[in-house]
Structures are given as C-alpha cells and as structure tokens.
Amino acid sequence: QITERIIVLFVVINSQEEIQGKYVVCVLFLLWNLVDVVRYTYNMLARMGIYYLPLTWLNFSLCIPLYLLSVLAKAFAICVSLPYFESFGTYSIKLPFPFAFSIYFPYLLKMYLLVLFIGMCFITQNLFSERKAHLGTGNIKIKRS
C-alpha cells in the first residue's frame, strides 16, 4: 500500500503540475484519509483490547467500497496524466548505442494499471473474507473502561 501511494503521489501527481490541480487528486486524498482514519482508530483501540461495534463495522464494511473508490480514483489520475507523460516525455529513457533500448514511461503506467486492477480483485476478496471472519461470527468483546 505504501509503495502504491508513493508511485501515485510522487511519480504521477508530483511530477506533472497539470495533474496537481485536478479534482481527482482531492478526491483521492479524501478517500485515502477516510480509510486511514477508520483503520488506524480501529487498530489502536483493538490493540488496547477495546472493541467498539460501530467502529468495527465501519472498519470491515465501509473500507471495502472506499478502497474500491480509491483504486478507481488512482486509475483515473493515471489515465488523466498519460497524455502529459506522452507529450513531455517525463521519465522516458533512451539508452545509448550498446544497449539500444528505450523505456517509454506511459507503457509502464499502462502495465501498472493492469496490475492495479488485478491486485484490487485479490485485496477485495481478502477484505470480504476478513469482514466475514470478524462480523459473521459475532464474537466481538466489549470492554468498558
């Protein structure tokens, strides 16, 4: 997840000034922060042995659609940035004669989109199984302080 955010934030968004002002960047940051606030609050309280049922439900139910929306926002940000990477040639490299090899960065971004959606399927399946394991059994302990 950290690598994914670093790629999108620093490679895609930060390197192209034209992308930084788009609404998709604001939506992406909003989704990332919503997921993190719920997840980190739940994990902190769970470490202390406190299980608050609405927060548990938010962590295992609301995070699934928020994760899917954040993947779509990442994909949209990458698609919006592709024309700028193609026209400016940012991060595209042509190696000298002995190698005669070039790396065209928009192709790498398109392959990353494919990997992003394949990974989204596996992570969503894992999130659903975690939700079933935590909310389906009904074994949530409530600790009062």
The confidence score (pLDDT) of residue 2 equals 84
The confidence score (pLDDT) of residue 138 equals 52
Q: Mapping DSSP to helix (H, G, I), strand (E, B) and coil, where does residue 145 land?
A: coil
Query: Containing domain of residue 118, as a range?
Result: 1-143
Q: Show pLDDT as tens, one digit a residue, over the chain (145 residues).
A: 788 889 899 989 998 888 999 999 999 999 999 999 999 999 999 999 998 899 999 999 999 999 999 999 999 999 999 999 988 888 888 777 677 778 889 999 999 999 999 999 999 999 999 999 988 755 555 555 4
Residue 140 CA to residue 52 CA, distance in Å, equals 8
Report, in angstroms and rounded to the nearest whole number, the Rg of the chain calculated over CA atoms: 20
The confidence score (pLDDT) of residue 143 equals 55
Q: Mapping DSSP to helix (H, G, I), strand (E, B) and coil, where does residue 102 land?
A: strand
Give the number of domains in the chain.
Answer: 1
The confidence score (pLDDT) of residue 142 equals 57
**Which run of H or of E encompasses 115?**
helix 105-135
* pTM flag (> 0.75): yes
Closest CA to 115 of 2, 19, 4: 4
Residue 142 CA to residue 115 CA, distance in Å, equals 40
Residue 44 CA to residue 120 CA, distance in Å, equals 25
**Burial degree of 60 (CB within 10 A; 0-12, 13-18, 19+):** buried
Residue 66 CA to residue 34 CA, distance in Å, equals 8
